[in-house]
Amino acid sequence: MFFKYLGVYFYSKCTWGIHIAYLKQKCQQTFNFLQTITGTWWGAHPGDLIQLYKTMILSVLEYDSFCFRSAARIHILKLEKIQYRCLRIAMGCLHSTHTMSLKVLEGVPPLTLRFTELSYRFLIRCKIMNPLVIYNFENLLQLTPQSSFMSLYHEYLTHDVHLSPGISNQVCFPYFCNSSVIFDLSMRQKIHGTPDHLRSNVIPSIFSEKYGKVRSDKMFFTDGSFINGSTGFGIFNENSSASFKLRDPCSVCVAELGALYYALGIIETLPIDHYFIFLDSLSSIEAIRSMKVDKRSSYFLTRIRHLLSDLVEKLFKITLAWVPSHCSIPGNERADSLAKVGASEGTLFGRQIAYNEFFHIPRQDTLASWQRMWSEDEFGRWLHTIIPKVSTSAWFKGLNVGRDFIRVISRLMSNQYNLNAHLYRIGLAANNLCDCGDGYHDIEHIV
């Protein structure tokens, strides 16, 4: 007996064959679409096809994978075959290409690891959003501690997921007056094209020319730093400087936001005037001025926006200016030094931690497991000498090249191509010799 609930087929015997068959049927139409828009020698760009696969097929396979991730291996293999066929079509590789090699070439982790990562993230989210799930797992832990379904929860317990209760992961929209809060990114244009060996000499002069008339007591420099597994931030002003450590998990971006928040708190105690805050984190500035909900640290972002609103109401004027890092701008260098001191030996700065800040843990576990599988695999060793380290980015990311080039190079990198040396290995050629009679018919011989 089975029933369908929220798009998932549950069977009374807790097997997942019916649901897996449903997923295969649901993905077939999209898979046919991928085949119609590409071929071996023509078709859409591999990067676009990979994105289509992730959007239209992988999202279907991942839906509610928390439930069926512990299904029998024979069922999971059916889903992995769907992934393999899509990746092979996207890259235009031969049928004989090793499955793991395809995943490494295209930066797509194995489905089993992806299911585990999403399930882990679900447990982290439930600790705040739905604690009843954690409560049920605790009861199951007492009843069936050795169950394969509980392996994920055992791993979850090994990590220190210390969430702060009552904190929202959504950030309020900015409601301060744009004329009173200025986002100055003009330094990007002014230093564009400056050679690396001249940056330390040229950029301080450009900075001095642009901001030389601003009183030094109105200038605040902020920075974040990550050293030896610890994160901290620093603030430098001629009248007030500070450095603090932040509790893990914490990214450098969150540390940059923490430094900005602390600087605004200092400005709030000063006389009403126009103040300049210089930071070398472009992403932090974009996060503050964005009109979209941001998934970064909601704790700092929300408080920064509230502080800016309060300062505007009190007739303060604030300029958030971007400056390049490590370019001998004195104030920025001092803030960088303070941030390093904060990361290594600073006082702990209290803050609430949102659940999405722990999502890097399952991602790191996924990459580590994938790397271990790739290093220990007996197949794909030719590609392993070229790409020894796995990545979530395709090998051609950032290259302005077409499908034909990517297809040819991918075949060469995977050592799977239409030459006798390979065709003989898979039983499609009588021998592995070149027609010229001088050597093996492989790519080195052709070149």
Instruction: Give the tens place of pLDDT for each residue, 388-442.
Output: 999 999 999 989 999 989 998 998 898 887 777 767 777 777 777 777 777 777 7
Spatial CA neighbour of 284 closest among 322, 246, 247: 322
Report the interhelical angle of 252-268 vs 298-313 (nearest 10°). Answer: 20
- How far is residue 264's CA from residue 242's CA, in Å, rounded to a whole number? 13
The residues, ordered by sequence, that sit 6+ positions from 441 with a Cβ below 8 Å of its Cβ are 419, 420, 421, 432, 433, 434, 435
Q: Mean pLDDT over residues 55-79, rounded?
A: 90
Assess contact for 347 and 244: CB atoms under 8 A: yes
- pLDDT at position 170 over 60: no
The residues, ordered by sequence, that sit 6+ positions from 406 with a Cβ below 8 Å of its Cβ are 45, 46, 91, 92, 396
The residues, ordered by sequence, that sit 6+ positions from 133 with a Cβ below 8 Å of its Cβ are 122, 123, 126
- pLDDT at position 126 over 60: yes
DSSP-derived secondary structure for 19-56: HHHHHHHHHHHHHHHHHHTB-SSSBS-HHHHHHHHIII
Q: What is the pTM of this model?
A: 0.77
Q: Read off the amino acid at residue 326.
A: H
Which pair of structure tokens corresponds to residue 63?
């839906």
Which pair of structure tokens corresponds to residue 239?
């009248």
* Domains, the chain, ordered by start: 2-163+361-375 (no CATH), 181-353 (3.30.420.10)
Distance between alpha carbon 302 and the CA centroid of its chain, in Å?
22
pLDDT band, residue 110 (cuts 50/70/90) = very high
Peptide bond into 249 cis (omega under 30): yes
* Residues in a beta bridge with 440: 433
Report the pLDDT value the prediction gives residue 35, as an integer from 0 to 100.
86
- List the alpha helices (DSSP H) in 290-426: 298-313, 330-345, 360-376, 381-386, 403-414, 420-425
Report the pLDDT value the prediction gives residue 297, as an integer from 0 to 100.
59
Report the pLDDT value the prediction gives residue 85, as an integer from 0 to 100.
92
Kind and range of the H or E run holding 198:
none
Report the pLDDT value the prediction gives residue 369, as an integer from 0 to 100.
94
The percent of residues above 70 in pLDDT, for the chain, comes to 94
- How far is residue 325's CA from residue 221's CA, in Å, rounded to a whole number? 11
Q: Mean pLDDT over residues 354-365, rounded?
A: 83
- How far is residue 342's CA from residue 258's CA, in Å, rounded to a whole number? 12
Report the pLDDT value the prediction gives residue 162, as an integer from 0 to 100.
66
Q: Mean pLDDT over residues 116-138, rounded?
A: 86
Report the pLDDT value the prediction gives residue 152, as an integer from 0 to 100.
80
Q: How does pLDDT run across 287-296, given as a tens digit for each residue?
A: 888 766 555 5
Assess contact for 234 and 256: CB atoms under 8 A: no
- pLDDT at position 208 over 80: yes
- Where do we find the tokens 């928390």? 66
Mean pLDDT of the chain: 86
- How far is residue 316's CA from residue 400's CA, in Å, rounded to a whole number? 47
